[in-house]
Structure 1
């Protein structure tokens, strides 16, 4: 399967060969795992790559439910879905973004940001739908107390664990993509900041994905037409509300919910970190992250408004160019008819006789 049509060939396993064929290499590795499912000898190993591990049957009032623990085998599953994400990244880039960017004729800087926002729009849109499905099916929306009840939450439902495994796979795949996409050195620190932020599990609530989806959608419309800035105003309003909602939820779940739990002993083997010191550290980290994001948002908005008003004031200072008076053209008395000058009484003017030499 070739994701890109290439007219130039590169030496096998060279740097340029890996960059231009990394999606094809990942597809071959995924195909080998899928073929392993067909044989009984390799099926158990293949399932180790595809499905979450450490399943435990938990008895309930009606029947038994299967929950999942975490362990080192999850790294193998994350690695498999990193290759899946690399393949999907190449498909979106080749068959959607490249075709749109050719019509827009963007500069190199705008082209790089367009590709970045295009990939993140697809990811955030998928995450919003998946998050909403998990929140509804697992009862987090109807029973918010389940966020801190039965702590520690070391046994997760299938949808919750699989969601986090895929999230980790996506943001870990973004690190080698900085190399594969040949991102400019000036852009790497900024992208590393939000990649590391999303690798922290508590920074990935549903409404944060919806906010980022709105921002990158607004940026795509802006690249298509620079007059489309209405979505940025909507994103600015939602951004502040999102920061406030995250802080409220963190204080409610960590500051009040976990503080009232009876089991408040420090036991890393059982996954219990419900102590006053740990709760304060987590709350400080959440508040610091939200304050940093809000400060960057306010700083960018002030800079945008300052540039806008400077541009408007510069337009007012430019004096209007004086209009030159119409040039007077001296015409002969009479009028023209068929290219011949006629006198006012209708007769042709008398021509002067030339003196003979």
Structure 2
């Protein structure tokens, strides 16, 4: 209903022929704040006039609109895909809850991988890594870069009310709040500190590793013996952490340190000072160290579970073998005849005559 109330006046005011009414003009103007990114400005270049964007308070209204869009998409994925899979698998309530969580995040990270890869490729961030720190501050953003960040923030902000809608258990809420807040903090930090180019590449690396993890997790919930994808995820996770630290040090520690301007000027979006670079690098190192610690803890838990499964399997095999020995204590069969332990055939008992 919210989407219809916003979009219908916009369509009436913009696309219908004839002179729009005064109400249509007002609602169409207000609807643009919800749908389209704000704070656009035209800059002259060799290719002509190009429209760029920067951030401001009105972005919160646009993010609010796309939070509602994300809530609807979340419900569509849940109802038409995940619920149908759950009916076939017959999982327990705990596994079903985590399967749904991984299913939603797998879809999100898959979309983020292709979207960020497309934006980074078309903007030249992959072909020319120097663009990550050259001409900082990156105050003026292309449309697709700003729209990408608005949608990313909308997704992770929508995850907060989803904790209530999905009826997540109280013991699961702190764990989910932990990574939701971390994503919001890092994405909003890159957006507001004008490190959008570096943030885009780091989100690409993070999404690749997280997509593999949640796919491996979904296969594991369907069959606990399916753990091969966890090995592939482990390799990608470690490589992505190394690339993240390398790009962060290269961009912030070396690239921005060689910039011409080193002044703190929030009005112009410039935060390139020594203290700024040290704080950002410290935060990146702390977050990556924490993630590696969680990764090592997860691998150790997996190793303990595998050892426990092997012990249970060995115990079951030993018990089965002991059962066979007990059955043979009184005798064994040979060519269809029961023989005693010394190998002699027991004498048949004589039947008494009636």
- The CA distance in 2 between the partners of 1:303 and 1:218, in whole Å, is 16
- The CA distance in 2 between the partners of 1:313 and 1:111, in whole Å, is 28
User: Cα distance, 1:310 vs. partner?
Assistant: 3.4
Deviations 1:228-252 (A, max 9, x none): 1111110011111110000000000
Which of these residues, 290, 298, 309, is aligned with residue 292 of structure 1? 290
Which of these residues, 39, 57, 67, is aligned with residue 54 of structure 1? 39
Query: Which residue of 2 is the match for residue 16 of structure 1?
Result: none
Structure 2: 5+ residue runs without aligned partners? 14-23, 191-198, 334-352
Which of these residues, 127, 131, 139, is aligned with residue 124 of structure 2? 139
Which of these residues, 68, 77, 93, is aligned with residue 53 of structure 2? 68
Structure 1: 5+ residue runs without aligned partners? 1-27, 330-351
- The CA distance in 1 between the partners of 2:312 and 2:215, in whole Å, is 31
- The CA distance in 2 between the partners of 1:328 and 1:160, in whole Å, is 79
Equivalenced residues, count: 305
Query: Which residue of 1 is the match for residue 217 of structure 2?
Result: 219
4+ aligned runs moved over 4 Å, structure 1: 326-329
Corresponding position: 1:301 with 2:302: no
- The CA distance in 2 between the partners of 1:193 and 1:210, in whole Å, is 20
Q: What does 1:58-97 align with in structure 2 at a 5 Å threshold?
A: 58-97=43-82
Query: Which residue of 1 is the match for residue 3 of structure 2?
Result: 30
User: Cα distance, 1:304 vs. partner?
Assistant: 1.5
SS for the counterpart of 2:322 is: coil
For the pair shown, the structure with the greater C-alpha radius of gyration is 1
Residues 154 and 328 from structure 1, CA distance in 2 versus in 1: closer, same or farther, beyond 3 angstroms? closer
Residues 322 and 100 from structure 1, CA distance in 2 versus in 1: closer, same or farther, beyond 3 angstroms? closer
Query: Which residue of 1 is the match for residue 280 of structure 2?
Result: 282
Corresponding position: 1:208 with 2:193: no
- The CA distance in 1 between the partners of 2:300 and 2:223, in whole Å, is 23
Query: Which residue of 2 is the match for residue 271 of structure 1?
Result: 269
Residues 316 and 149 from structure 1, CA distance in 2 versus in 1: closer, same or farther, beyond 3 angstroms? same
Residues 307 and 224 from structure 1, CA distance in 2 versus in 1: closer, same or farther, beyond 3 angstroms? closer
Which of these residues, 100, 105, 111, is aligned with residue 120 of structure 1? 105
- What's the Cα RMSD here? 1.8
Corresponding position: 1:241 with 2:245: no
- The CA distance in 2 between the partners of 1:328 and 1:177, in whole Å, is 65
SS for the counterpart of 1:57 is: strand
User: Cα distance, 1:312 vs. partner?
Assistant: 2.0
- The CA distance in 2 between the partners of 1:208 and 1:252, in whole Å, is 18
Residues 221 and 322 from structure 1, CA distance in 2 versus in 1: closer, same or farther, beyond 3 angstroms? closer
User: Cα distance, 1:225 vs. partner?
Assistant: 1.9
Query: Which residue of 1 is the match for residue 30 of structure 2?
Result: 45
User: Cα distance, 1:269 vs. partner?
Assistant: 1.3
SS for the counterpart of 1:321 is: helix
Deviations 1:106-136 (A, max 9, x none): 1111010011011111111111110011001
User: Cα distance, 1:328 vs. partner?
Assistant: 8.6
User: Cα distance, 1:70 vs. partner?
Assistant: 0.8
Q: What does 1:186-201 align with in structure 2 at a 5 Å threshold?
A: 186-199=171-184, 200-201=186-187
User: Cα distance, 1:64 vs. partner?
Assistant: 1.3
Corresponding position: 1:321 with 2:322: yes
SS for the counterpart of 1:274 is: coil
SS for the counterpart of 1:64 is: strand
- The CA distance in 2 between the partners of 1:205 and 1:119, in whole Å, is 17
